[in-house]
Amino acid sequence: MDGNFWTAGQLAAALRAGDVTSAELTDEAIARIERDDDAINAICVPDFDRARAAARGADLARARGEDRPLLGIPVTVKESYDIAGLPTTWGMPPHRNFLPAEDAVQVSRLKSAGAVVLGKTNVPQGLQDVQTFNEIYGTTNNPWDHRRTSGGSSGGSAAALASGFGALSIGSDLAGSLRTPAHFCGIYAHKPTLGLAAMRGMVPPPGPALPAEHDLAVVGPMARTARDLTLLLEVMAGPDPLTFGVAHDVTLPPARHERLSDFRVLVLDDHPLLPTGSAVRAGVGRVADALVDSGARVERDSPLLPDLAEAAVLYTQLLFSGSVARFPVEAYEQLQARAAGLSVDDQGLDAARLRGMVLSHRDWIEANGLRELHRHGWRRLFAEFDAVVCPITPTPAFPHDHNPDLLRRRIDIDGVGYPYFDQLVWAGLATMPGLPATAVPAGRSPEGLPVGVQLIGPMFEDRTPLRLAELLEQEIGGFQAPKQAVSSR
């Protein structure tokens, strides 16, 4: 059989029925990677020997009567997660030989659930780009068009899934790093509610794997179908056993609705600070039309929606406040001088990035207070709506751009250039208040590139956008393998 594009649910059923072994699935996945990954460069650290051993162990466990959620299913892991015995570099050359001593908590959970880890997937340097390339492992290409990016920073995982390299992957998201690669590669991803899934062992090298809390950042699942996201999130969810896990378990509430006709959805495709490209606007429209046709209540505006411009500026300041923590003192003082020269009337995103880089603790506390007001606004909105549908970025995947000065890069939106980092405003809509957001395929652009949208849900009600994603998958379709991947089967 060729199970490379089967869903995790289908593989689990076949394994339980005895139609296939984990050893067979793993050998097929490895053969496909060895045959096709030279053109994609998604798997930067293969771990095939240990994968085969894990697959044999999974088959023996099943023969003993065991049945765990991911038993025998081949998966990949973003390079930024610690795996004992494999390098964790975050794409940073000074750390190319760093070997962590233990697995990240999420890797441990994968293995405990029975997953077979094929290897690690590529990332941008320091996880700080909307593309995936670094000096150690090179560039990951989009499986739909090798001249274009797969997204970042979980671009290797998204490209691996779209190429049939494993059924599931785990990534992380601070600035859309799960959702943007999913959108660019035509797969599914879920950014969980902030704090829902433990992050220990997803730390820049050579830092110790401590159970520290992270502002904005989360870890989450990636898959080729919405139902698989829920399967993997159930494995990942829960506090760190070294902190809240000592006293707490997680029980997520059920989805608010089981039928598409019962959902109340706010649909957005306009942002006050950045236009939405025609291809993405069309994708949002496809989802909106499917909702209307299914009888869902759909609105295009609401006075309850928090101010999008204020939210984008606030998110930008919070995001960039942690980006220069390790800068040399001289460079930091130069940034302070530049920020001091800004006009008080300059409230654009460029100014927000600069102010964020030198945010004082006093200013951060003020910004955090404003964030709490936005969270309260979202709670009020979700008393009237069940989900918000909106873009992830304003365009489909764009051509590779390796200009080392990220602030000089431009993003082309229907022929007009805009500052590169402005494209993060839609991702920040869910990230800043810590809301869950599910990325789903929503068709293709006129050039044949995938287009995705995100479904934002209420805090800690992750099952609601996930269920909406499953229902939309039934209505408008879901993952389709790129022609290059299909032709190489």
Among 78, 150, 169, 321, the one annotated catalytic: 78
Pick from 161, 70, 152: nearest CA to 485: 161
- Give kind and range of the element (H or E) at residue 291: helix 278-293
Query: Is there a contact between 122 and 160 (Cβ–Cβ < 8 Å)?
Result: no
CA distances from 402 to 2, 79, 227, 357 (A): 36, 20, 35, 22
Nearest to 452 by CA among 473, 431, 433: 473
Catalytic residue among 154, 157, 169, 177: 177
Q: Is the dihedral of CA 241, 243, 244, 247 positive or negative?
A: positive
Helix axes 329-340, 349-357, angle to 10 degrees: 140
Measured in degrees and rounded to the nearest 5, phi and psi for residue 51 equal -65, -45
**Angle at Cα 182 formed by Cα 181 and Cα 183, nearest 5°?**
90
* 153: annotated active-site residue: yes
Cα 336 to Cα 409: distance, rounded to the nearest angstrom: 23
Name the residue among 481, 389, 404, 486 with its Cα closest to residue 179. 389
* 177 a catalytic residue: yes
Q: Would you say 321 and 364 are in contact if contact means Cβ atoms under 8 Å apart?
A: yes
Catalytic residue among 80, 150, 153, 163: 153
Number of helices (H), then strands (E), in the chain:
15, 17
Per DSSP, the residues of 128-171 read -SSS-EETTTEEPEETTEEEEE--SSSHHHHHHHHHTS-SEEEE
DSSP state of 242: T
CA atoms within 13 A of residue 412's CA, in its CB half-sphere = 7
- Catalytic residues, by residue number, are 78, 153, 177
